[in-house]
Amino acid sequence: MSSPLLRPVLRGALRQVRQVDPVRPRRAPGEVRAVYTEVEREFGMLAPPIALHAAAPAVMAAAWVMLRETLIAGGLVERAAKEAVAAAVSAENSCPYCVDVHGAALDALLPGADATKALDGPSEWLRRDGGAPPFPAAHAPELVGTAVVFHYLNRMVNLFLADGPVPENAPPAVRRMVHAMLGRLMRAGARQAPVAGGSLDLLPSAPLPADLRWAAGTPSVAGAFARAAAVAEDSAARVAPATVRALLDARLATWDGRPPGLGRGWVDPAVAELPPEDRPAGRLALLTAMASYQVDEALVAEFRHRHPGDAPLIELTSWAAFTAARRLGTRLADAD
């Protein structure tokens, strides 16, 4: 979808990945290369929010499958409506990178004031604690699914990417050019939406967990989230002690989606009940899930002391981000 001249510029966006070493396309092993190839073909560029996961190939595949089968694949819902949900969720989660990208997409898909107006419905829906969703029930798998994907991706982007797709010191003309380029890519993708279900063979099939039942009406979306849930459980079994898994579940059970405080003073009391050796993972999991923008290099280094390498870091944070996103998806789907 992107021109040969433009592709090196787009791939250069991997320089924005932080905390982990990005896997360059030319050096990517087969499992990673398969996802990279599909992302470039169907999204128009090697999207850094997907590529940042490459140290854990199954996690990266899960992130891509969820994104493709909700936002990108053809279905019942127009791409502009899904982009509006993506932009509204990203604004709620204080994720400037995703706001920039999906705001540009919305501007490209809808003329002028229509793009701003398109955000009103999703923004109201996300703030609502009750009442029927503002769309037909048949649209729930795609729209709730898009919201869940971006609740997940926003958290990972806040941890592992710069604040925007364009460097802060870039001249205004460059920023305008990149935003226009992103918009064109998204508009082209919307016109050539790939067939639903085409990415599911990247991961083995899995049963759909009960809390994701809102996806059941659309087999491609259900298949994507079932596979992602299985990957998250495998990741948690490797890097999240049982005490940390229980703590995160308990905190999210009564969570309303709002940040738990202005600072991080709530975190240390929350992990005090954990064995000392589990507290770094506990801190990182809680902050990733509930206030991802507060994660800093010191917290990452503390976790790496017991879990060296990039793969455990991606697996722990991905599991925590997805667990929070699932909880928020349940609240959205049950608001009737």
Catalytic residues: 98
CB 36 within 8 A of CB 46: yes
The secondary structure of the chain in percent helix, strand, coil, rounded to multiples of 5, reads 70, 0, 30
- 């940042």: which residue's tokens? 52
What would the 3-class secondary structure string for 217-277 be?
CCHHHHHHHHHHHHHHHHHHHHHCCHHHHHHHHHHHHCCCCCCCCCCCCCHHHHHCCCCHH
- CA torsion angle 107 197 35 297 (round to 10): 60
**What's the rounded Cα separation, in Å, for the pair 32 and 24?**
10
- Residue 161, beta-bridge partner list: 17
Q: For Cα atoms 243, 245, 250, give the angle at the middle one, nearest 5 degrees.
A: 95
**What's the rounded Cα separation, in Å, for the pair 86 and 90?**
6
**What's the rounded Cα separation, in Å, for the pair 324 and 153?**
11
DSSP 71: I
Which amino acid, 194?
P
Tell me how far CA of residue 58 lies from CA of 33, 62, 158, 335, in angstroms: 12, 6, 21, 32
- Residue 17, beta-bridge partner list: 161
DSSP 207: P
